[in-house]
Amino acid sequence: MKTTAYALIALIASVSPSFAASGAATDNGGFLTPLFLVFGAAIIALQAVPALMLLGSMVKGLFSAAQTSEAR
């Protein structure tokens, strides 16, 4: 087990410097990258609105059920 672990560590240590400066990520993405990020943010924001409404309804139902059980 130790031999396998040491071999794996040696393999990872020898391979990682080759990924350090490949120069492959010099493109900024142009117009589509910000458009994609805005689209993703819009999806998250539009999903948060019904989630917050549902959360508010659940909290309201929880406290109204507690008040009706106190009245009995």
By percentage, how much of the chain surpasses pLDDT 70? Answer: 71
Tell me the CA end-to-end span of the chain in Å, nearest whole number: 66
pLDDT digits (tens, 9 = 90+) for 15-48: 655 555 556 556 667 888 889 999 999 999 999 9
Q: What is the per-residue pLDDT for 14? A: 73
Alpha-carbon distance of 9 to 20, in angstroms, equals 17
Whole-model pTM: value is 0.46
